[in-house]
Amino acid sequence: MRTLLKIELYKILKRPRTYIGFGTILLIVFALELAFFAEGETLIGLVFQNLSSVFRLEGKIITVNFLTYMLLNVLIIHVPILICLVTGDIISGESANGSLRLLMQRPYSRMKIYMAKWLTGVIYTIALVLFLGLVSYLLGYLLFGNGDLIVFRRGVHVFETTDVQWRFFGAFGMGILSMMVVASLSIMISSFTNNSIGPIVGTIAILIVLNIISTVAANALQPVLPYVFTTHVIKWQYFFDSSIDWGAIQMGVIVQSAYIILFTAIGLINFKRKDILT
């Protein structure tokens, strides 16, 4: 299994598209943080317009913590797309270029091969999310320094610097779990097709459709929504509430873990039965 994993990791590292995600994240982080560095006061002025008419706001608003929180929002739309680019191709790509048939000739069970690919997808996902956190934090620290975190979510929450780290750990952990669902889904779809585009576009389409339905028909679908995995993609934000709804976070962990198991199981069953003809 370890050898298989090493092979899969080597393959993923050799593919140029693996670095598209890291490059894109780097661009997003640089663009946003430099924009805040140049025009942060103006950008933030609108947010604080109402408050500054009532209060004298003392202290730094734009800090490394504020920007890292802002940048975590790319987990909702952008990072899932970047993950699909790699994980959606992980089986179907090899199926399309014929290397999957060669791999099958090796003395490894299909389950081990699938799990090695799934693990590689998960490692890539974790690396991408951690890269987002690391780059956001390092550049933010360099440009803005440390300070309290101000969050606008159902009101205004101000967290002291000492109260922020564990929240970020929780948020990134929750973000990784959500992105693992996306990776598992795209790997599952990848096991069904023999071309790379299908799983990538298919996964993105599912995410977009579910997000739109969840937003537009939120009231009508209220009883079903807690069981839809896209509902929990924003659960990382719950770590930035003054009084944390642990029940909701627990529900998010259970539902998302269940989807990871479900998608992996479906993908695995299909992969084991799959006729490899290309």
Binding footprint of other proteins on the chain (CB under 8 A): 46-47, 50-51, 53-61, 69-70, 72-73, 76, 147-148, 150, 152-158, 160-161, 215, 218, 234, 237, 242
Q: How many degrees, rounded to 5, is the angle at CA 131 between CA 135 and CA 185?
A: 145
In the bound state with other proteins, the residue whose beta carbon lies nearer, of 69 and 118, is: 69
Rounded least distance, CB 58 to other proteins, Å: 5
User: What does DSSP assign to residue 107?
Assistant: S
By C-beta, is 1 or 160 nearer to other proteins? 160
Cα of 92 vs its chain's centroid, Å: 21
Nearer to other proteins, 30 or 160 (CB): 160
- For residue 164, the minimal CB distance to other proteins (Å) is 11
- 26-43 burial, b for 16+ CB within 10 Å, e for fewer? eebbeebbeebeeebeee
Nearest approach, Cβ of 218 to other proteins (angstroms)? 5
- Integer Cα distance of 176 and 235 in angstroms: 11
CB 259 within 8 A of CB 181: yes
Rounded to an integer, what distance in angstroms lies between the CA atom of residue 12 and that of residue 89? 10
Least distance (Å) between residue 253 CB and other proteins: 17
Shorter beta-carbon distance to other proteins: residue 13 or 216: 216
